[in-house]
Amino acid sequence: MLIAKNPEGKLVSALETELNREENYRCPGCQGRVLLRQGQVMCPHFAHKSLQDCQFFSENESAQHLSLKAVLYKSLVNHGERVCIEKVLPELGQIADLFVGDSLALEVQCSRLSQKRLRERTRAYQQVGYEVRWLLGEDLWLGQRLTGLQRDFLYFTVKIGFHLWELDWKREEIRLKYLIYEDIFGRVYYLTKTWPLTENLMTILRFPYQAERVETYQVTQRKKVSHVIQRELMGKNPRWMRRQETAYLKGMNLLSLSDQDFFPQVRFPESKQGFAQIRLAVDGFEKLFMQYYRKRHFSYQQTLYPPTFYAKIIINRHN
Ligand SMILES: [Zn+2]
């Protein structure tokens, strides 16, 4: 943790240069005694004196987590933002890694947590009218597939579609992965944008709402899809077993479908229980998306656009 209470009850930050090591510092969450520590790898920080259950601060905070919080804090302060580091929110029983202005919480998430916990913490913020942006550390970066947990970190705007935020500790960069789409085999496709953490973070976080340029990219459709599915079914892939079952119930067989029938192979990411961070109804956009491709001639090349593009095209067609 980077914040503690000094004997006068004032909050002090370990990032300040002139702190007295011998002072009697306390945890702002549980009021337990904490010590100022400074190591070779870790930036200066506070740690509970005795290992105890503090419901606010975990004791095994990584160097990555500490230093990312510190870098983000300094950057926000340098750009004139009103920001609190490790703000205790007693009404929620939790701590925001950073809290900007009156209603934006930034969470630097470096370790895996359960989807249940993520949903609880997100809902707690939403219920009191706070926005929360989860910024993901290395262990949670998006690779070629979306894990269940990563689906719950996805945001959605009409300008850049599904997206998520990543923090790169070593390069001191923030990365946006956007226009995220997923093919029927679970592979993800996206565009990436990177900013140094010294730039104005609030401007960067507004990008998903303000992006003006319509960006696109192309993906190639797999050929002989039914052969690929046949292999998946022989390997007892549960996803395809389930889909084949659903198809049977409709009197269909996936193995007798043509490549045209599977077009477009790249689609909106799916979530059975709904996306935790997304409050906008995405199914309307998903329908427009599917309509757009189904009305086009089949091609092995598929061009992906932002959701707003599909909405405009389809609505214009109807006028
Ligand atoms: Zn504590």
pLDDT per residue as tens digits for the range 188-214? 999 999 999 999 999 999 999 998 888
Residue 47 predicted with pLDDT over 80: yes
pLDDT at 319: 54
- Ligand 1 geometric centre to CA of 264 (Å): 52
From 24-33, 67-76, 148-157, the region with the lowest mean pLDDT: 24-33
Q: What pLDDT does residue 198 have?
A: 95
Cα 56 to middle of ligand 1, angstroms: 6
Centre of ligand 1 from the C-alpha of residue 24, in Å: 14
Mean pLDDT over residues 31-43, rounded?
83
Expressed in angstroms and rounded, the spacing between residue 65 Cα and the centre of ligand 1 is 17
Q: Phi and psi (nearest 5°) for 226?
A: -65, -30
Tell me the percentage of the chain whose pLDDT exceeds 90: 75
Interval between CA 9 and ligand 1 midpoint (Å): 15
Residue 98's pLDDT is: 96
pLDDT digits (tens, 9 = 90+) for 80-99: 999 999 998 888 888 999 99
pLDDT, average across residues 103-128: 95
Q: Identify the DSSP state of 285.
A: H
User: pLDDT value at position 293?
Assistant: 94
The structural domains of the chain, ordered by start, are 1-61 (no CATH), 63-216 (3.40.960.10), 217-318 (no CATH)
Among 110, 105, 9, 95, smallest CA distance to 62 is for: 110
pLDDT of residue 247: 95
Residue 280 or 107, more confident: 107
Three-class SS state of 306? coil
Q: Is the pLDDT of residue 176 over 80?
A: yes
192 alpha carbon to ligand 1 midpoint, in Å?
38
**165 Cα–ligand 1 center, Å:** 28
Between the CA of 47 and the centroid of ligand 1 the distance, in Å, is 9
Query: What's the gap in Å between 240 CA and the centre of ligand 1?
Result: 47
Centre of ligand 1 from the C-alpha of residue 23, in Å: 17
In the three-class reduction of DSSP (H, G, I as helix; E, B as strand; rest coil), residue 181 is classed as strand
Instruction: Residue 140: count other Cβ atoms within 10 Å of its Cβ.
Output: 20
Examine the pLDDT at 318 and tell me if it is beyond 70: no
Asked if pLDDT for residue 312 goes beyond 70, the answer is yes
Q: What percent of the chain has pLDDT over 70?
A: 98
16 compared with 265, residue with greater pLDDT: 265
* Residue 213 CB partners (closer than 8 Å, separation 6+): none
> 52: CA distance to ligand 1 center in Å?
8
The stretch 45-58 carries a mean pLDDT of 81
Residues 174 and 164: their CA atoms lie apart, in Å, by 11
Half-sphere exposure of 132 (CA within 13 A, CB side): 28
For position 192, what pLDDT does the model report? 98
**Per-residue pLDDT at 116 exceeds 70:** yes
> Per-residue pLDDT averaged across 34-40, rounded?
84
Q: How many CB atoms lie within 10 A of CB 197?
A: 19
Span from the CA of 173 to the centroid of ligand 1 (angstroms):
30
Distance 51 CA to ligand 1 centre (A): 10
pLDDT of residue 109: 96
126 contacts: CB under 8 Å, gap ≥ 6? 132, 279
> How far away, in angstroms, is 27 Cα from ligand 1 center?
5
